[in-house]
Amino acid sequence: MSDLDALGDFNNVDPKQFAQLVKNAPDSQLADIMKSDQRGKILDTIFSRFPELFRPDRAGSTNAIIHWTITDRPDGGVDTYELVIANGACTLSPGADQDPKLAITVGPVDFLKVVSGAGNPMMMFMTGKLKAKGDLGLAANIANLFDIPKA
Contact 110, 101 (CB under 8 A): no
Cα–Cα distance measured from residue 54 to residue 86, given in angstroms and rounded to the nearest whole number: 11
Find the Cα–Cα–Cα–Cα dihedral 66, 124, 73, 70, rounded to 10°. -10
Round to the nearest angstrom and report the end-to-end CA distance of the chain.
19
The pLDDT value given to residue 130: 96
> What pLDDT was estimated at residue 145?
94
User: For the chain (length 151 residues), average pLDDT per consecutive 10?
Assistant: 53 78 92 94 92 94 96 96 96 93 97 91 92 94 86 66
β-pair partners for 89: 86
User: Cα 140 to chain center, whole Å?
Assistant: 15
Structure confidence at residue 143 (pLDDT): 87
Stated as kind and residue range, the H or E segment containing 4 is: helix 3-8
Q: What is the pLDDT of residue 9?
A: 58
- Give every strand in the sheet of 64-70, ordered side by side: 89-93, 79-86, 64-70, 102-106, 130-134
